[in-house]
Structure 1
Amino acid sequence: MIKFAIVGIGNMGSVHTGKLFEGAVKGATLAALCDADHEKIEAAKEIYGDNIEYYEDYHELIKARPADVLLIATPHYLHPIIAEEAFEHGWNVLTEKPAGVDTLSVERMNEAAKKSGKAFGIMFNQRTDPLYQALRYYISIGMFGEIKRFVWIISNWYRTQGYYDSAGWRATWKGEGGGVLINQCPHNLDLWQWMIGMPSSIQAHCIKGHFHDIAVEDDATIYAEYPNGSTGVFITSTGEYPGTNRIEISGTMGKAVAEDGKLKLFLLHRDEELLRQEKYGFVTDEKVSKIELSFGTDNNGHIKILQNFTDHLLTGKELIAPGYDGINSLTISNAAYLSTWLDRKIELPFDKELFVKELSKQKDKDKQGGAAEHKLSTNTEYSGRWQVHW
């Protein structure tokens, strides 16, 4: 039986707590909880009883090692800090997204993980979605030929002003380290690079407080370039309702469109480059085979990641989302911020220390946020806002 300890029992941590306590993950059990908020720990004791160990200081939890896995569900800045210390004390670590706020600290975390030799995972639950898995597979086998263009409009991360006002750390550079790109979109940025690979340069326009009274971006457009000349466009917002979730990938052998839970394939019978070289005619009526695949909604992605991590420790099963991968999506969002702040294209890899310096300037502009929520959530179901939704 794999024992889990959870540090941070806010919205996400409290649901992970409930699921592990209920036995929703086979071969896993809840052994310890930690939160700096005394009121939350006292409330947790009332719910989960004396069979769980409780801590208000994560340093003490890490040193005590009452479990096999440390699941980190704290505010973003603490993810790499806590993980690095945990690896040094021999823990296996599963962290919530994002991996951190800046790639410099995440790089140190990855080095600590590698040195420790312990298991390292990240909660990229949307990698378990069958549509994304199918699309990634088709790309990997070359079904669409050489990729020309990737476009993702993901604007159904809608949030109200009340959401941003619900805790003092939300929507601040000091608290979250950014807006929609660092809070909602690590999943999508991860899926982008997971399917297509990392770009070589980023040009972005991130708009602060475009739709809400916040200090960070709630609207962003990213333009990316790849070494082979292909391009990518990523558009996101928390201020559009109803929003859109649409992916279009174009290649030399056809294209794919993902929307409304359906994957539409448009496949050529010969490479488009051959059509391009035709000497006669200005257009083509080349045959295109059309296939439409439907995928059901699966809202068990978080449980699948927890189960996969447990199975990895018990049987050596390959991780769906290795923690080392977290730096990739963060590299894209860091580059997008740098591009916006410096008003220029950012080549990858970029200067990590420059990003930290520029981020510090943004922190200095933050206004004081409101009070944090101290009440422990008793909800044990993953909210729809954390799932894949079309």
Structure 2
Amino acid sequence: MTGTIRVALAGCGVIGRNHARVIAEHPAFTLVAAVDPVTGNTARLIADHPSTVAYTGLADALREQNPDLVVICTPSGTHLELARQAVEAGTHVVIEKPLDVSVARAADFAALAEQAAGRVVTVISQHRFDPASAAVARAVQDGRFGTVTSAVASVAWWRDQAYYDGGAWRGTWQLDGGGALMNQGVHTADLLLWFLGRPVEVQATAGLLAHDRIEVEDTVAATVRFESGALAVLLATTAAYPGLTTRIQVHGTRGSAVIDNDRLEYFHSHTTGSGPAGAGSVTGGALTGNQAEAEVGFDDTPAGPRREDDFVLGHRRQYDDIARAVATGTEPAVTVQDALRSLAFVRAVYVSAALGRPIAIADVLAGEYSDVHLDVRPA
């Protein structure tokens, strides 16, 4: 494709407006349509992007604007209905996380996407494009940590009751698909799978501990066994006042790394120094902070507290990849199959919490347990 990629954005809430900002600032894209049944949402978006035309339905935008790309930022349970419309109309498609709330629907869509020759279909996993995440993934692939043995992932956030009361779809199984893990923790779960490989089995416990009037969990803890034999612990919560950082530790026989709030906080490999770090301490060949980032070759993530702009840096990098994939006709860095695997993993966590026993991810992908639902509400 030559020239500007014309974009129709479906879903003009908070995350949709973030996408609109990134799209408008990117030289490869032009935002031509804003789609949302809530006219107040499109009005707020168009106030910032006045050349964009408002629509209440995607079909009209597809027919009148003939976009090259549809970006879907609606509630999670509606993603694939719109994505299917876009694919069948012949456009490229970008879907905000998660792919959907149903593994069965996601698997059907993955098959459709594979048949969409010449079209880019991708799912937002913007943290795969953070320099820290990319550096750790590269170190794992290059064997710099030796045999990867374990990981610890924690998403310890706070969402007050007003957050859940602010939208009728929030905190519902039908449209949100889950709580702290599906909504807030899915990116961290995706990184865990990216670093450690194919998950085999999970065992989990979940609860609703700090919120009212929602169906889903606000706290979940899981242990994970991977195909390689590696083990991981995952915690996701929106009940950690006042809200702490997102943190991933990756451990191996020859090194370890820690990512905290998208920054590479710690990096040690047998290639970084003359000796191993001491037990439980940062010594020997271990690097921290800016040293660690210099070691793995990046310095473009700003130091210090997060700025407002930092929250869209990953999206900007992923849109670079989307533009490349559209222009060259090649596969995007994040595929629908990647997103399907992450969704099946999250679903397996919920099934395990509901049944109180280990669950094989392969069984979830095969369509088992589709009728199992987690109920965390007080009796």
TM-score by length of 2: 0.83
Cross-structure match for 2:121? 120
The size of the alignment, in residue pairs, is: 344
Answer whether contact 1:31 1:66 (CA < 8 A) is retained. no
Quick one: which of 348, 353, 367 aligns to 1:335? 348
Structure 1 residues 196 and 46: CA distance shift in structure 2, 3 A = closer
Measured after TM superposition, the shift of residue 266 of structure 1 is: 3.4
Answer whether contact 1:334 1:355 (CA < 8 A) is retained. no
Answer whether contact 2:120 2:331 (CA < 8 A) is retained. no
Other structure's SS at 1:319 match: coil
Moved more, 162-171 or 302-311: 302-311
Q: Tell which structure's C-alpha radius of gyration is larger.
A: 1
Deviations 1:20-65 (A, max 9, x none): 3xx411121011121112343455566644x433321223334556
Measured after TM superposition, the shift of residue 321 of structure 1 is: 2.3
Cross-structure match for 1:36? 37
Q: Which amino acid aligns with 2:286?
A: K
Cross-structure match for 1:357? 371
Structure 1 residues 41 and 147: CA distance shift in structure 2, 3 A = closer
Deviations 1:323-343 (A, max 9, x none): 332112111110000001111
Cα separation, 1, equivalents of 2:268 and 2:44: 54
Cα separation, 1, equivalents of 2:76 and 2:162: 20
Other structure's SS at 1:217 match: coil
Cross-structure match for 1:7? 10
Moved more, 330-339 or 245-254: 245-254
Cross-structure match for 1:291? 287
Cross-structure match for 1:265? 267
Structure 1 residues 258 and 6: CA distance shift in structure 2, 3 A = closer
Cα separation, 2, equivalents of 1:131 and 1:230: 21
Cα separation, 2, equivalents of 1:13 and 1:233: 32
Structure 1 residues 337 and 134: CA distance shift in structure 2, 3 A = same
Cα separation, 1, equivalents of 2:126 and 2:177: 21
Cα separation, 1, equivalents of 2:367 and 2:196: 27
Quick one: which of 324, 348, 360 aligns to 1:347? 360
Cα separation, 2, equivalents of 1:101 and 1:291: 40
Cα separation, 2, equivalents of 1:304 and 1:267: 27
Q: How does 1:54-133 map to 2 (within 5 A)?
A: 54-64=54-64, 66-117=66-117, 118-133=119-134
Query: What are structure 1's unaligned runs of at least 5 residues?
Result: 270-282, 367-390
Structure 1 residues 60 and 324: CA distance shift in structure 2, 3 A = farther
Other structure's SS at 1:93 match: strand
Query: What are structure 2's unaligned runs of at least 5 residues?
Result: 272-278, 294-298, 303-309
Structure 1 residues 201 and 43: CA distance shift in structure 2, 3 A = closer
Q: Which amino acid aligns with 2:178?
A: G
Query: Of the two structures, which has the highest relative contact order with CA contacts closer than 8 Å and spacing of 6 or more?
Result: 1
Cα separation, 2, equivalents of 1:4 and 1:176: 25
Answer whether contact 1:223 1:231 (CA < 8 A) is retained. yes
Cross-structure match for 1:211? 210
TM-score by length of 1: 0.80
Percent identity between matched residues is: 27
Measured after TM superposition, the shift of residue 322 of structure 1 is: 2.6
Moved more, 34-43 or 119-128: 34-43
Cα separation, 1, equivalents of 2:21 and 2:139: 36
Structure 1 residues 268 and 306: CA distance shift in structure 2, 3 A = closer
Structure 1 residues 324 and 172: CA distance shift in structure 2, 3 A = same
Cα separation, 2, equivalents of 1:18 and 1:252: 43
Answer whether contact 1:81 1:109 (CA < 8 A) is retained. no
Measured after TM superposition, the shift of residue 104 of structure 1 is: 1.0
Cα separation, 1, equivalents of 2:18 and 2:268: 40
Cross-structure match for 1:246? 247
Other structure's SS at 2:323 match: helix
